[in-house]
Structure 1
Amino acid sequence: MPAHSPKVIVTRRLPEPVEARMRELFDVEINETDEPFTRERMADALGRADILVPTVTDRIDKGLLAQAGPDLRLIASYGSGFDHVDVATALARNILVTNTPGVLTEDTADMTMALILAVPRRVKEGMAQMQEGDWPGWSPMALMGNRVGGKKLGILGMGRIGTAVARRAKGFGLEVHYHNRRRVRPEVEEAVGATWWESLDQMLARIDILSVNCPHTPGTFHLLNARRLKLMKPTAVVVNTSRGEVIDENALTRMLRAGELAGAGLDVFEREPAVNPRLLGLPNVMLLPHMGSATIEGRVEMGEKVIINIKTFVDGHRPPDQVLPSML
C-alpha cells in the first residue's frame, strides 16, 4: 500500500456512522447520489482506487478487473456474498477480496421465518383485501391457509443462516430436515432436532416447505432446476432469502402458475433487480425487494466489518474476512 492514506472508493451510500468513520480514517470517495455504478464508472473506480468497497449488486468480472489500476490491492465488499466478484481473477492479479460474514445471520433468518409463516397462511391475500377495501367481514371459509406446526421444513444449506432458521422453526413446531454438502455436528442436529439428507432429491420429495439458504456458486447455479422442483409435492411452498440464481426462476414460475407448487416467498431473484413479470400478481407468491438483511443494526455492523478489513490490510496484516480460494 502507498505511504499516504489509501484512496477508498465506495460504490453506494452506507449508513452515516460508517461513512463518517471512513472519512476519519481514509481518503474516501463516497457515491453521493447512490445511483448504481455503470460499467464505465466501475472501470474508472477500479483504475483510480487503492481499495474498492462495492456491494453485492456490483458485478466485477474478469473484463473489469483487467482495467484495474496498479494500486488496487483490496476489494472490501459490503455484503456476505462474494459471487459478484471474480475472486479467482482478482487473486491472480494480487488483489485481495473480503466480505462481511456473520453479522446478517439473525436478520436474514428472521425474514426467512416471516415468509415461512406468511405464505402458507395467505398473509399477502389478506393484506390485499384490507388495502383494497374488499373485506366483506369474517367468514368460516375465508382465506383458509395451512397450519405451519407439524409440517416438514427442508433447509437447503445448513450454514450460519440455515442453522438460525432451524432454531426458529423448532420453536414453531416444524420438523426440521436439511441437505448440506457435509453433515453438521451432532450437537447442532440435536439442538434443533434436524434430520440430514445426503440426497437432495429424496429430501425434496418429502418436505412441505423448502427454505433456500445456500450461497450462489458455480456448483449451486440452478441447483433447483425443473427436474428437482417437480419432485416436490404440489402442496409445497418454496422460500428463498439466499440467492436467486440457485433456483431456475422460469421453471419455478411455470409450476406456480400451473398449480404444481402451492406458493413461494422470494426475497431474491435470478436477474435482480429484474423480476420475472409472470411472477407479479400471483396471489400465492409473496415478493420482497431483497430486504432480508435490511436492519439498521445489521447495516452498521457490515460497515464496521468493512472498516476492520481495510484497516487491518493497510496495517500490513491479513484481513479477518478474506475470501480464500477454498471458499470458491
Structure 2
Amino acid sequence: MLKKLLITRPIAAPVLVQAKAIFDVTVHAGGKLSVTQAAQALAQFDAILPTLGDGFTADAFVGEIRCKMIGNFGVGYNHIDVDAAAKAGVIVSNTPDVLTDATADIALTLLLATARRAGEGERFVRSGKWGGFDGGGIMGTHVTGKTLGVIGMGRIGHAIAARCHYGFGMDVVFHNRSPKVVPVPARQLDGLHDVMAAADFVVVATPGGAGTTKLIDAAALAAMKPTGIFINISRGEVVDEDALIAALETRQIAGAGLDVYENEPHVPSRLLALESCVLLPHLGSATQETRQAMAQMALDNIIAWADGGDPPQRVN
C-alpha cells in the first residue's frame, strides 16, 4: 500500500506528477492549515509537505500521530515546532540553498525601488498626471558607492552583499550572532546598532524563530540615519512592525522596502498609506525555477525517508 502524503499547497506540476507516482497524494486547497487542521493531518497522513503559515505548533503534536516525516517547502521552518516534532518521532527537513539567489534578487529589487522611489513613479505614470521630464519632483537616493548593512550573514546575506559590493561598489558592514569570515569584502561590526548606524541601506536577512523575534525594535531603528532605508526579506516577526511604522510616519528614516509582514497576509492600513514604502506580497522565492526546485527538494527529502534513508536536509 502506498504511503499517504499530504501537500498543503499546490506545487509545480512535474513534481506533483512524480509525487503521485510514488505516494497516495492529497493536495489541500483551502489555504494555510490551522493548528487543528495540522493536528488532524498528523493523525491521518504518513508524510506531509507543508509551507510557511501552516500551524505545526507544539499543540499540533498531541494525541495520535501517524505522520513520521514533514518535508517543509521553504528554508524557514519557524511555523513548525521541531522540538515537539522530534519528541513525537517526526523528522523535519527544509529546502536551503535553492532559493538563495531569488531571495537576494528580491532584496536588490526592493533596495533599488525604494531608493529611486520607483513605486511612487509607477503610480504617478498610471495616474495620468505625469507632465514631462521633471518626473513630478520625484527625487530618489543614489545607491552606487553607499554603505550596505546586512543583518544576518548567512547564504542569502552573502549573496546580497556580493551583488551590492561587486555590482554597485558598496561598502558592506554586517551583524551576525557569531563571528563570521565571509567570501565577500565586508566588515563585521561589534553590534546590531553599530551596523544600523553605519549603513545607508539596512537589509535584514536573518532566519525567523524565537531568537530573532522583534530583533529590529524601536531602539535599532532609532540608530539608523535619517536618510536610511530599511529592507526586510527575512521574516515579518523579526521586525517590530509598529515601531517601523512609527519611524516611517515621523520620517525618522527615509523609507522601507518589505516583502514580509508580521501577520501575513495582513498588512496594516498605516503601512499601506505610506508613500515611502515599497510593499511586495512575499515574492522572495517566487520564480518558476525556484519554486519548482524547492518542491523537488522537499519531495526528495520525503522520498529519502520513505526509502528508509536519512533526508539530506533534515533539521531535527
* TM-score normalised by length of structure 2: 0.96
For 1:166, what is the secondary structure of its paired residue?
A: helix
Q: Distance in 2 between matches of 1:44 and 1:194?
A: 47
The residue type equivalent to 2:38 in the other structure is: M
2:42 is aligned to 46
1:237 is aligned to 229
1:180 is aligned to 176
The residue type equivalent to 2:193 in the other structure is: D
For 2:48, what is the secondary structure of its paired residue?
A: strand
| Residue 13 of structure 1, aligned match among 7, 10, 13 | 10
Q: Distance in 1 between matches of 2:33 and 2:147?
A: 43
For 1:111-146, what per-residue CA distance to the aligned partner results, in whole angstroms no more than 9, with x for missing partners? 101111111111011001011111111128821111
1:28 is aligned to 25
The residue type equivalent to 2:186 in the other structure is: A
Q: Distance in 1 between matches of 2:118 and 2:160?
A: 20
| Residue 246 of structure 2, aligned match among 247, 254, 264 | 254
For 1:159-210, what per-residue CA distance to the aligned partner results, in whole angstroms no more than 9, with x for missing partners? 1000000110011121111111223326x1xxx3211113111121111110
For 2:198, what is the secondary structure of its paired residue?
A: coil
Q: Distance in 2 between matches of 1:21 and 1:315?
A: 15
The residue type equivalent to 1:322 in the other structure is: R
Match status 1:112 vs 2:117: no
Q: How many residues align?
A: 315
The residue type equivalent to 1:35 in the other structure is: G
Structure 1: gaps (5+ residues): none
Equivalent runs, 1:204-219 vs 2, <5 Å:
204-219=196-211
Match status 1:59 vs 2:42: no
Q: Distance in 2 between matches of 1:180 and 1:59?
A: 29
- Root-mean-square deviation (CA), in Å? 1.4
For 2:271, what is the secondary structure of its paired residue?
A: coil
For 1:256-286, what per-residue CA distance to the aligned partner results, in whole angstroms no more than 9, with x for missing partners? 0110010000000011111121100211100
The residue type equivalent to 2:152 in the other structure is: G
For 1:222-273, what per-residue CA distance to the aligned partner results, in whole angstroms no more than 9, with x for missing partners? 1111111111111100000110111100000011011001000000001111
1:303 is aligned to 295
Q: Distance in 2 between matches of 1:279 and 1:51?
A: 39
Is the CA contact 1:156–1:178 (under 8 Å) kept in the aligned structure 2?
yes
Q: Distance in 1 between matches of 2:205 and 2:284?
A: 12
Q: Distance in 1 between matches of 2:303 and 2:205?
A: 30
Is the CA contact 2:34–2:54 (under 8 Å) kept in the aligned structure 1?
no
Q: Distance in 1 between matches of 2:135 and 2:11?
A: 48
1:81 is aligned to 76
Match status 1:267 vs 2:259: yes
Equivalent runs, 1:145-164 vs 2, <5 Å:
145-164=140-159
1:203 is aligned to 195
For 1:111, what is the secondary structure of its paired residue?
A: helix
Cα deviation for residue 323 of structure 1 reads: 0.7
Moved more, 309-318 or 246-255: 309-318
Q: Distance in 1 between matches of 2:203 and 2:114?
A: 12
Is the CA contact 1:13–1:34 (under 8 Å) kept in the aligned structure 2?
no
The residue type equivalent to 1:238 in the other structure is: F
For 1:50-85, what per-residue CA distance to the aligned partner results, in whole angstroms no more than 9, with x for missing partners? 111111111211111114x44211111111101000
1:285 is aligned to 277
Q: Distance in 1 between matches of 2:4 and 2:242?
A: 42
Q: Distance in 1 between matches of 2:36 and 2:314?
A: 27
Structure-2 change in CA distance of 1:92 and 1:38 (3 Å) = closer
Q: Distance in 2 between matches of 1:39 and 1:73?
A: 17
Q: Distance in 2 between matches of 1:307 and 1:218?
A: 27
The residue type equivalent to 1:176 in the other structure is: V
Q: Distance in 1 between matches of 2:53 and 2:301?
A: 20
Cα deviation for residue 43 of structure 1 reads: 2.8
Query: Which aligned runs of 4 or more in structure 1 are off by greater than 4 angstroms?
Result: none
Identity %: 40
